[in-house]
Amino acid sequence: MVGYLGIDVGSVSTNVVVVAEDGQIISKRYLRTRGQPISALQQGLRETAESLQGGTEIRGCGTTGSARQLAAVMIGADVVKNEITAHATATAALVPGVRTIIEIGGQDSKLIVLRDGLVADFAMNTVCAAGTGSFLDQQAARLGMPIQELGPIALQSEAPVRIAGRCTVFAESDMIHKQQLGHRVADILYGLCEALVRNYLNNVARGKEILPPIAFQGGVASNVAIRRAFTEALGHEILIPPHHDVTGAIGAALLAREYVMQGHATRFLGFGAAERSFEASSFECEYCPNHCEVVGIASEGRVLARWGHRCPRWDLTDEAAAD
């Protein structure tokens, strides 16, 4: 069997998938990054290799996510793409005709507008965690419930209370105040879900044309109460793509498939990268007023790559890589 490897390394989760030539998912891994992208990626590679049991030939590899450059160096990626491109590519394949993509992850949220299968507009919120998965995790923990139970309990609401959702601090304070007033937990939770949807539509989606079909993906798409709140706010059916939690990785794999099918040879280094020793480091360049933060990754004493600089000073040469 032939497959294409897709990797999405983000601040909250690291996702590794293998997609067959016909687009079917052969293997899927969703892991917590926990501030250690190298370890998380290596664990994902080990588990993926075990699931394939040597029965699949990897013909191409793509990376995306905030640590896509790091992952690309570690595994020898053929394509390195931003999250917007990766998510749009996967969703267009999973939800034919999709025109709007709502993506809410662990620490950021995105809106992607597609027209005729192409990205026509997009917006991102990477500044505030209000409305993201990490905030919902925090509130579930504060209430002493698993995050998986938050949505079903919220759907039991009969009279949702209005929660201030523009800021995580204010939202939490408002929830505590409503609890002290004696409101039911279900009413508070669904009020929170409505507040998070309002916050998304008033900030990320402000000024954007939201047309159906609408796809909702990212980890927060698992929350059934958030789905209902979006449906009520937009007045349209909200579609949840299959494998919505690893859409970015699927997009990276599909883009790698496209690259290889154009006649390019793969640079994939194999699953042995899971056992190699890698070290990441950074420093601030002081040669000019830009003060670039230069990030590098090394293995076995050899610098493999550097990025973050705006001039050629820190570009790798054969001599520099050997230092």
Q: Looking at the structure, tell me whether residues 114 and 222 fall in a common domain.
A: yes
CATH classification of the domain holding 56: 3.30.420.40
- Do residues 119 and 211 share a domain? yes
The rounded distance, in Å, linking the Cα atoms of 224 and 246 is: 18
Q: Are residues 184 and 110 in the same domain?
A: yes
Residues 298 and 175 in one domain: no
Q: Indicate if 206 and 139 belong to the same structural domain.
A: yes
323 residues of the chain, pLDDT tens digit each: 899 999 999 888 999 999 999 999 999 999 999 889 999 999 999 999 999 987 899 999 999 998 999 999 999 999 999 999 999 999 999 999 999 999 988 778 899 999 998 999 999 886 666 667 778 888 888 888 888 899 999 999 999 999 876 677 777 888 888 888 889 999 999 998 998 898 889 888 989 999 999 999 988 899 999 999 999 999 999 999 999 999 999 999 999 999 999 999 999 999 999 999 998 889 999 999 999 999 889 988 889 888 888 899 998 765 444 33
Q: How far, in Å, CA of 245 to CA of 255, rounded?
A: 18
In terms of Cβ atoms closer than 10 Å to its own Cβ (0-12, 13-18, 19+), residue 44 is buried
Q: Are residues 262 and 296 in the same domain?
A: no
Whether residue 303 is found in the same domain as residue 185: no
- Our count of domains for the chain comes to 3
Q: Looking at the structure, tell me whether residues 264 and 222 fall in a common domain.
A: no
> Of 190, 218, 240, at which residue does a domain stop?
240
Task: Provide the residue range defining the domain that includes 85.
Answer: 2-89+247-275
Residues 107 and 139 reside in one and the same domain: yes
Could you give the CA distance from residue 31 to residue 260 in angstroms, rounded to a whole number?
27
> Do residue 184 and residue 261 come from a single domain?
no
The confidence score (pLDDT) of residue 134 equals 79
Q: Which of 240, 266, 293 is the last residue of a domain?
A: 240
Are residue 33 and residue 151 in the same domain, yes or no? no
pLDDT of residue 322: 38
Residues 197 and 252 in one domain: no
Tell me what pLDDT residue 210 has.
Answer: 95
C-alpha distance across the termini of the chain, in Å: 41
For the entire predicted model, the pTM comes to: 0.87
